Amino acid sequence: MIATLLVGAIGTVGAEAAVESHPAPLKATQASARICPKGIRPLPASGVQRAADKALAEAARLYLGLNTRGAEVMAADRPAFAGARGREVRNLCGKKVAARTVVVQMLFPRMLPSASLSESVVFVGRFAHGYRVWHVAH
């Protein structure tokens, strides 16, 4: 019993030290100021497909170290139709950015069976110089 208490106490002290050594988390407004894109433009009718194409084209650069060959788009939707990830865009950057963003979910088949490594989610928008991924959500 004493050994159990001693191990528990050591674990607690170690956990507290680890928490204290990390900087305080950013407030939502600070985080969004760093993530949310400036100059994002409205999407035309072909915007969802073009955003999906851009996400595939940038996959290898965005996910260095992963085998992205054969990548596929599983879903590409405007945030209003993209479930939790769509709500994430709106909560993080507001209605205007959400209305101009496409949430693209990709699959990297060569990374299967790992669910974490084989799936990705990016936010894509249209800017003055074309479409680009403005945030890697997963």
Task: Tell me the pLDDT tens digit for each residue of 90-100.
Answer: 999 999 999 99
Rounded CA separation 138/114 (Å): 14
Q: What is the pTM of this model?
A: 0.74
Q: What is the mean pLDDT of each run of 10 residues along the chain (138 residues)?
A: 42 39 40 79 96 95 88 94 93 95 94 89 96 93
Nearest one of 121, 87, 89, 104 to 50, comparing CA atoms: 104
Query: How many Cβ atoms sit within 10 Å of the Cβ of residue 82?
Result: 23
Cβ neighbourhood burial of 102 (10 Å; 0-12, 13-18, 19+): buried
What is the pLDDT at residue 9?
42
Cβ neighbourhood burial of 118 (10 Å; 0-12, 13-18, 19+): middle
